[in-house]
Amino acid sequence: MDVRNAVVAFLKANIKTTEITVIKVEKVQEIWKTVAEVYEDDSFLKSMNLPPKKVRLFYSVVLDAELEIISFTRLTSYDDSESDNN
């Protein structure tokens, strides 16, 4: 639960969204590897001053044993989490 809460808090502070679901948590030695599903406003529609629409994006977030963020990356798809997190 602490890992999930740390990931959600980090993403809320750094990405303009409130819709975050941690969908994968994996511990490899002393490192926590997670994937979060995030719904954000479509930046293209926003730039064109069109009504906002939410798009689903995935982020890989890696934490150390003290739950400090080591890295985070926006993935092109959930399938990328299998190759990026291994």
pLDDT in tens, the chain (86 residues): 899 999 999 999 999 888 999 999 999 999 999 999 999 888 888 788 888 888 999 999 999 999 999 999 999 888 766 665 44
Cβ proximity of 61 and 10 under 8 Å: yes
Q: Look up residue 76 and give its DSSP letter.
A: S
Identify the structural domains of the chain with CATH numbers, from first to last.
Answer: 2-79 (3.10.450)
Enter the pTM of the model. 0.82
